Amino acid sequence: MKSRIILGATLLSLAVPISVGIAQTAGIPTPIEADAVTASQAANSLEDQAGKTADAADKKKLTENLFSVGVSELLELEKGKAIETSLVFRSQPKVDEPVSIEGVTIDGYTSYATYNGKVIGQTVITSLKKEGMIVDLDAQDFSSQYNMDTPRIDPEQEISIKGNEAALVRALKTLNGEDVKEEEEKGEEEEKEEVQEKSDGGSPAINSSGAKDKAANGYQTPDRREVADPKEEIKITEEGCKPVYDSVQNVVKGQNKTQTFKDGVLVNETVCEPSGVTFTVQQQYGTCPDVVDVPGRSAKPQYQAYYLDDVKVRKDLGECQPDLNQTFSISEKDSCPINIDLVAKTATVVSSLVYTDRNNTERVVQSCQPSETTPALPLILNTAACSIKHDFYAGKSKEMGTWTYMKDNVTYQASDCIDTGNVFTHNVLFKENGVDVCPVILNMDTKIAIPQSRTQIEVKGTKQFIDECKPDQTVSKGIRATTDTCDDPASFTHDLGAGISYGRERYYYENPDRIFVNECQQSATSYTHSVEIMGWVNDDAKLSGQALSTVSISVDGTRYNITENTLLAGAPQVGYSLVKEEDIPRDGDAAIDGCQKTTPSTLVRTYTRPDGSEYVLEAGEGNGIVSDVCTRDLENKNYSKTKSYSRYPSDCSQVWGTITTYQEYKTRYKIKYPDGRIEYTSWSSKKKKLLSSKQGYIKGPRFGSSQC
């Protein structure tokens, strides 16, 4: 859809697609097709065009310098392209009813064109945004055109926008969450007002809603006022100009032409010439097949040349064409089974023709055909590659072979193993050159030795075994025990703890010589230990000793000492015997208390060791040695002597009896202390002391009694 908009004072051609949003808006502007004119020409053009155009945008109330905007960062423009632009308000909108622009940002598009060496910039506004809400605007209602020194816009530059006040207020209120119903009704009412044209005698009003409303209402456009001079309009367009493909630079160059209109009538048109806009030519290989030259053993890729125009629409340039800069070599690949002819005894190599394309993918040109570069290979019968076939029941073996061929110094098998017709006779062997070919199986539980055999054949003069060892029970041998070479007591097993030793033996069988089957090992024959104590190891610290013993056994009547003067493991600790314990005087000051003198002493204990020796132990400080240091003299006090008689018989004529004489006395001690002091003890009670006793005849009466 093509629409014409007067922006500022210049007529621009815009492509206006319809987008979907809160409101319908004009789309992204394409490159400016009509170059701008000078400022004075723009003013004259605006004066001439006012009230004449049929575009609905001219009938809306657009306010010059409604507000100003700017870019937030440097914006570089490209000729022929409309750049999406983010803008911010630089001034408060000039509206009757103040509205807030806080937090509101602006989206639009900016492009530029050149005319007579001048750069003319154009900016249109398409939407306002705030906190995720977007209100679309009609691009015909908000725009600006301005002169530029260079095709770039600095953040400091302000752009003055001509726009629809009512639409701006409605959009801002919508973003700010205010009620816009009344404003919408007001705006609709204003759009329905007629625009009164004031000329000579006046003319009917024109409905500002545009041609669509006119058609709906049956409205007829009033006659235009006459102008004295025809008005000239210059338009630059690409219509009718085909882009030119420059294969050397690999670009497509845009073409345009200049058209001159007077009062809307085309009066002059230039030929198409380069517009200065170029498009890079690209190559797509995936849609084009490769060109394959089988006889020449080569392949070339093809590509489709295309470019993307200013609206990113793909334009193809002709048909697929080969890439002259790339060539792929076609070669044989041995990816097929080889052809084996057992009758002709040949192997024919079968291969495919392949090449690797630009994507490193292997492509097959021709599948599985006899190779043109490798001749047929001869088949050779190979018996080394097959095992000999054995028939143990028949006692024969058959030679087997396979057909093989060699390719690239590698041997390949071309057939299964087959019978060559050669037969070999079996020979069962137990010994070879007097040596067992297999180890004899020994069953020590049953004490049986079983010989083993192997089967042998002779192939082309070489003997070889064809099976493993096999036992033969029919030739088994008995296994016996012997002490031969095992009778040295030094090799016996001696259990000192148990007090017993075990002899050694080994086993053998005869085949036909005696063949030992093992080394000497412990037997069941035992020998009881004899233990003699030869000495003692005394431990005075522990007051005990352990015996040093000689352990021996008797083997066939011969004594053999197992250990001599050895401290046996587990030998008991025999304690020392305490003989006496006494205090021995030692140096030091004695203490005297009366007659008692206490001399310092050492406690000495005397022990007898198990070996009979004596061990004296100083056991520490003794209780002290107490002695009497006083002298005591015994004093006696004697009394009368007495005699006693006993007689027999009792007659008085003559008496046979015993005459006993006693002394009565008392004693006391005279005690003399070391300091010279003397004391006496008390006298003892009377004591009777026998002085004499004799027997004989006693004459006369006893005790002077009258008994006789």
Q: CA 126, CA 218: separation in Å to the nearest integer?
A: 32
Residues comprising the chain, all counted: 708
Q: Is 52 helix (H, G, I), strand (E, B) or coil?
A: coil
pLDDT > 60? residue 197:
no
pLDDT > 90? residue 646:
no
pLDDT > 70? residue 689:
yes
Mean pLDDT in residue range 380-385? 92
pLDDT-based confidence at residue 227 (cuts at 50, 70, 90): very low
pLDDT > 60? residue 199:
no
Strands 314-316 and 339-341: unpaired
pLDDT of 695: 77
What is the crossing angle of helices 181-192 and 165-175, to 10°? 170
pLDDT-based confidence at residue 340 (cuts at 50, 70, 90): very high
pLDDT of 550: 95
| Strand runs labelled E in 83-183 | 83-89, 105-115, 118-130, 133-136, 142-148, 152-153, 159-164
pLDDT-based confidence at residue 636 (cuts at 50, 70, 90): confident
pLDDT-based confidence at residue 458 (cuts at 50, 70, 90): very high
Domains along the sequence of the chain with CATH = 2-192 (2.40.128), 232-280 (no CATH), 380-425 (no CATH), 427-478 (no CATH), 482-574 (no CATH), 576-628 (no CATH), 631-698 (no CATH)
Q: CA 44, CA 17: separation in Å to the nearest integer?
A: 31
Percent of the chain surpassing pLDDT 70: 80
Joined tokens for residue 341: 């002819």
Mean pLDDT in residue range 234-244? 89
Distances (CA, A) of 295 to 58, 291, 327, 355: 73, 12, 14, 14
pLDDT of 185: 53
Candidates 603, 634, 631; CA nearest to 616 is 603
More reliable by pLDDT, 663 or 127:
127
pLDDT-based confidence at residue 311 (cuts at 50, 70, 90): confident
Tokens 């050492």, located at residue: 602
- pLDDT by residue (tens digit) across 29-84? 333 333 333 333 333 333 343 334 334 444 467 899 999 999 989 999 987 688 89
Q: Is 156 helix (H, G, I), strand (E, B) or coil?
A: coil
Residues with Cβ < 8 Å from 12, sequence gap 6 or more?
Answer: 4, 5, 29, 32, 33, 34, 122, 145
Quick one: 572 exposed, middle or buried, by C-beta within 10 A (0-12, 13-18, 19+)? exposed
- pLDDT by residue (tens digit) across 504-544? 999 999 988 899 999 999 999 999 999 999 999 999 999 99
pLDDT of 645: 61
The pTM score is: 0.32
pLDDT > 60? residue 26:
no
pLDDT of 188: 52
Q: Is 602 helix (H, G, I), strand (E, B) or coil?
A: strand
Between 101-105, 165-169, 310-314, 483-487, the lowest mean confidence (pLDDT) is in 310-314
pLDDT of 351: 92
Mean pLDDT in residue range 173-198? 59
Run of H or E residues at 230: none
pLDDT of 1: 33
Mean pLDDT in residue range 209-213? 40
Go through 30-46 and write b for each residue having 16 or more CB atoms within 10 A of its CB, e for each that does not: bbbbbbbbeeeebeebe
If you compute the radius of gyration of the chain from its CA atoms, what whole number of angstroms results?
73
More reliable by pLDDT, 697 or 653:
697
Do the Cβ atoms of 135 and 142 come closer than 8 Å? no
**Average pLDDT over all residues of the chain:** 81
